[in-house]
Structure 1
Amino acid sequence: MKSLNTDQHGHLQNRQDWNQQVAQQLADTDHIILTDDHWALIRAVQDLFDETGDTPPMRLLIKVLRQRLDPAIDSRHLYRLYPDGPVRLASKHAGLPKPKHCM
């Protein structure tokens, strides 16, 4: 297991350190097994971050996921993937900073 340089919340300090293996390692620390649905969410969060320079709030994330992936996606779907906080954990596993709007 590679030693990761993270902040006090477990988010990578340097996004350039991110890759799929690192994402899996971060997910392992949260006891999450990444599925195809997790990876789609991770990629969407990364894309939104690249487009806006910030992690998306839940409502914007759902709107974008509905447009890009599946019109049926809702907050329940995201909470099934990440029961302890979809935006925070998806951002963490995507190698992004802790969202400003998350506790």
Structure 2
Amino acid sequence: MEITELRIDQHGHLQNAADWSPEVADIFAQKDGLILTEKHLEIIMAVRDIYQETGDTPPMRLLIKVLRLRLHDDIDSRYLYRLFPDGPVRYASKYAGLPKPKHCM
């Protein structure tokens, strides 16, 4: 699959979340110079679940709180920035096939 086959918005996010797959996440990440690992996918899948439950991706502090409860206690902002250096909330959402979070610039 090519990124040109996907409908994306002006921010580079999928327009239709149903088009998402782990392969799409890899394509987006590679385009941004990032290779996804199991740790990335763990966060991406959790962000997808949170979005499905709430209809939004929470801001960083709330996201960390939820991820600590759902995944593991050692998640903090440094951990997320190591995985997503250009912005954990924005890029985890992008790679999860979700719209750009309202609170992200």
Q: TM-score range by the shorter chain?
A: over 0.9
What TM-score results when the alignment is normalised by the length of structure 2?
0.95
Instruction: Identify which of 88, 91, 94 aligns with 1:89.
Output: 91
Q: Secondary structure at the match of 1:99?
A: coil
RMSD: 0.8
Q: Secondary structure at the match of 1:32?
A: coil
Identity over aligned pairs, percent = 67
Q: Deviations over 1:48-81 (max 9, x none)?
A: 1011011111111101111111111100000000
Q: Secondary structure at the match of 2:35?
A: coil
User: What is the match of residue 37 of structure 1?
Assistant: 39
Please say if 1:101 is aligned against 2:70: no
Q: Secondary structure at the match of 2:82?
A: helix
Distance (Å, rounded) in 2 between the aligned partners of 1:68 and 1:86:
17
Q: Deviations over 1:34-59 (max 9, x none)?
A: 01110011011101101101111111
Give the aligned residue type for 1:88: R
User: What is the match of residue 63 of structure 2?
Assistant: 61
For structure 2, which runs of at least 5 residues remain unmatched after alignment? none
Q: Secondary structure at the match of 1:7?
A: coil
Distance (Å, rounded) in 2 between the aligned partners of 1:50 and 1:99:
13
Q: CA deviation at 1:84?
A: 0.5
Q: CA deviation at 1:99?
A: 0.5
Give the aligned residue type for 1:93: Y
User: What is the match of residue 4 of structure 1?
Assistant: 6
For structure 1, which runs of at least 5 residues remain unmatched after alignment? none
Give the aligned residue type for 2:96: A
